[in-house]
Amino acid sequence: SYELTQPPSVSVSPGQTASITCSGDKLGDKYASWYQQKPGRSPVLVIYQDKRRPSGIPERFSGSNSGNTATLTISGTQAMDEADYYCQTWDSSTAVFGTGTKVTVL
Amino acid sequence: EVQLVESGGSLVQPGGSLRLYCAASGFTFTNYWMSWVRQAPGKGLEWVANVNQDGSKKYYVDSVKGRFTISRDNAKNSLYLQMNSLRAEDTALYFCARENGNSSDSWGQGTLVTVSS
């Protein structure tokens, strides 16, 4: 079955840039989405179709996808961005989520 | 405003059955694929199943095939998940989600299923 691998944790200082990677076989040939989940809350879509932002998502969130890796970048990270982040794609008509990355804003 | 409200979760014994419900409002239900996603305590997200707009196409993660059935009632704007032969590893918070293209753009608050004797 298809797998997506993310680093378990990423630490970033306020105002700095956080990059979260998501690795999967030929992931660049598929669309990647990204979700933010804060403790006790439901996931929120922050990036879809590799790089598009839903309405209401701040411009500091951006995405890219090429080769075997999709990347979520948070520029000018704020304390409110501290959360778990999951990538997601589709393979053979089934959805696959990444292993998840905890972003800590120190 | 899009709203998805799940219900039906509870404590159930291994081998038992449970039916989850998701009430949708604030959008044209018949225009969207719908899915169930679960999250075991302290763990990541796992996609479970989805169904197309008229209920004719359904897909499942391998671990629930033959045990779970997703369905929808468009007249009632409702999504269901019938879960049979439940196992301890099915213990999770189950989310209902609206699919929009390749993403899930709206999520419910979840309903908790606990499988334990």
Nearest CA to CA, how far is A103 from chain B (Å)? 14
Half-sphere exposure of A8 (CA within 13 A, CB side): 1
Q: Give the residue on A whose Cα is nearest the Cα of B57.
A: A93
pLDDT of residue B55: 96
CA distances from A7 to A1, A19, A35, A36, B103 (A): 20, 10, 15, 15, 22
Residue B101 has pLDDT above 90, yes or no: no
Q: What angle do CA A96, B68, A6 make, to 5 degrees?
A: 15
Nearest CA to CA, how far is B25 from chain A (Å)? 17
Q: What is the pLDDT of residues B51-82, one digit of tens each?
A: 999 999 999 999 999 999 999 999 999 999 99
CB-CB under 8 Å, B102 with A33: yes
Q: What is the pLDDT of residues A38-64, one digit of tens each?
A: 999 999 999 999 999 999 999 999 999
Residue A23 has pLDDT above 90, yes or no: yes
